[in-house]
């Protein structure tokens, strides 16, 4: 079998895959020029950041293991006879930590206390507890389920939203995408972990935002297409939601002229909620290669029609 690893740092991935498939021919490349000699013969591609037009030059390709969680950038250009799997589970913990770092900081007034320290102001600010608040998690895959689990550990009531009822077991009440306005209106904090699909385009718009609770928080760590940014700007200025933490955007990098930068109740991170955990990604990729070689079902298999 001939395998190509296309990523920034390939050697550790190549070594991990060789442990599983010692007889396979495995090559690594970090640029298209380096990959060029191997494209025509490659049967399995382990990749991140590859140009989709490259697939047309890989006639023997049977399987792509994407080294990230989101596949919206390639799924629509996927050859019909090629299986695509996404990485599952490697980013759940760090992304849940990101969500709760901000939820805790915003509820406990960490940013306000820091500002008071800089101004040498002594004023008692206690903040509020997460316990007893209602957390809404939109998208109940591995990441969203971990956010829900951690929320429950903080004593929060969990509402969940997903396309299928599979996530019902991790939440106290379940909603479907068509019920987004009712779902968002009932929670104290709304966390979006949605994939980028036509169904999620603009799912959080003026109608949804205007119905959010006073004092509510919106956090988006999924994909930027889910939130209509012009509507969010107006909503934040109006105070509903009271605060937002955005890690993903309609355009990335976020343009310097975006009004989101200067809103005092908007907190921005640069698509960094899920930093790569290479050892976990390598382990997942190697385990999936083992399944591929033995004919077992692949984990993280993407349905091209759904887009995830």
Cα–Cα distance for residue pair 96/144, rounded to 1 Å: 8
Q: Which residue segment(s) compose the domain that 212 sits in?
A: 92-268
And the tokens for 71? 């596949």
Question: Does residue 119 share a domain with residue 228?
Answer: yes
**In this structure, are 69 and 106 located in the same domain?**
no
Closest of 14, 16, 10, 81 to residue 49, by C-alpha:
10
Instruction: Supply the pLDDT for residue 273.
Output: 97
Which position has the token pair 């509820």? 107
- The 3-class SS string of 157-223 reads EEEEECCCHHHHHHCCEEECHHHHHHHHHCCCEEEECCCCCHHHCCCECHHHHHCCCCCCEEEECCC
Q: Which residues are catalytic?
A: 271
Say if residue 237 is in the same domain as residue 197.
yes
* Residue 192 lies inside a defined structural domain of this protein: yes
Residue 170 lies in a domain: yes
> Residue 263 falls within a domain, yes or no?
yes
Whether 44 is covered by a domain: the verdict is yes
Mean pLDDT throughout 36-58? 96
Confidence of residue 308 (pLDDT cuts 50, 70, 90): very high
Q: What pLDDT score does 184 carry?
A: 98
Contact status, residue 292 vs residue 286, Cβ threshold 8 Å = no
Residue 148 within any structural domain of the chain = yes
Query: What confidence tens digit (pLDDT) does each residue in 204-223 have?
Result: 999 999 999 999 999 999 99
Question: Has residue 305 been placed in a domain?
Answer: no
8 and 68 share a domain?
yes
* Same domain, yes or no: 63 and 115: no
Q: Are residues 116 and 211 in the same domain?
A: yes
243: in domain: yes
209, 234: one domain: yes
CATH number at residue 84: 3.40.50.720
Q: What is the pTM of this model?
A: 0.95
Q: Are residues 198 and 177 in the same domain?
A: yes
Residue 300 lies in a domain: no
Please check whether residues 102 and 241 belong to one and the same domain.
yes
In the predicted model, what is the mean pLDDT of residues 78-93? 95
Express each pLDDT in 143-173 by its tens digit: 999 999 999 999 999 999 999 876 678 999 9
Give the separation between CA 51 and CA 39, rounded to whole angstroms.
12
pLDDT tens-digit profile of 27-46?
999 999 999 999 999 999 99
Same domain, 77 and 123: no
Neighbours of 31 (CB within 10 A): 9
Do 75 and 105 belong together in one domain?
no
Q: What is the pLDDT of residue 166?
A: 67
Regarding whether 144 and 284 lie in a shared domain, the answer is no
């Amino acid at each position: 079998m001939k395998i190509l690893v296309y990523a920034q740092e390939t050697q550790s991935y190549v070594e991990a895959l060789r442990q599983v498939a010692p007889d396979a021919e495995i090559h690594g490349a970090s640029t298209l020029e380096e990959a060029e000699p191997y494209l025509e013969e490659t049967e399995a591609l382990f990749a991140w950041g590859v140009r989709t037009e490259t697939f047309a030059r890989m006639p023997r390709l049977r399987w792509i293991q994407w080294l990230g969680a989101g596949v919206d950038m390639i799924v629509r250009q996927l050859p019909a006879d090629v299986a695509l799997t996404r990485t599952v589970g490697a980013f759940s913990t760090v992304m849940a930590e990101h969500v709760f770092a901000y939820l805790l900081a915003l509820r406990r007034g960490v940013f306000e206390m820091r500002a008071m320290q800089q101004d040498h102001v002594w004023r008692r600010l206690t903040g509020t507890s997460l316990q007893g608040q209602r957390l809404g998690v939109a998208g109940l895959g591995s990441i969203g389920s971990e956010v829900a689990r951690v929320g429950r550990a903080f004593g929060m009531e969990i509402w969940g939203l997903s396309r299928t009822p599979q996530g019902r077991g991790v939440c106290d009440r379940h909603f479907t995408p068509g019920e987004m306005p009712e779902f968002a209106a009932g929670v104290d904090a709304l966390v979006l972990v949605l994939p980028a699909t036509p169904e999620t385009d603009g799912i959080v718009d003026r109608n949804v935002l205007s119905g959010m609770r006073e004092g509510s928080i919106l956090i988006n760590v999924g994909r930027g297409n889910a939130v209509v940014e012009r509507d969010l700007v107006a909503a934040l200025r109006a105070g509903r939601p009271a605060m937002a933490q955005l890690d993903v955007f309609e355009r990335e990098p976020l343009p310097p002229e975006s009004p989101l930068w200067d809103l005092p109740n908007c907190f921005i991170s640069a698509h960094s909620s899920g930093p790569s955990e290479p050892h976990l990604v390598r382990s997942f990729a190697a385990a999936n290669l083992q399944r591929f070689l033995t004919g077992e079902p692949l984990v993280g298999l993407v349905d091209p029609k759904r887009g995830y």
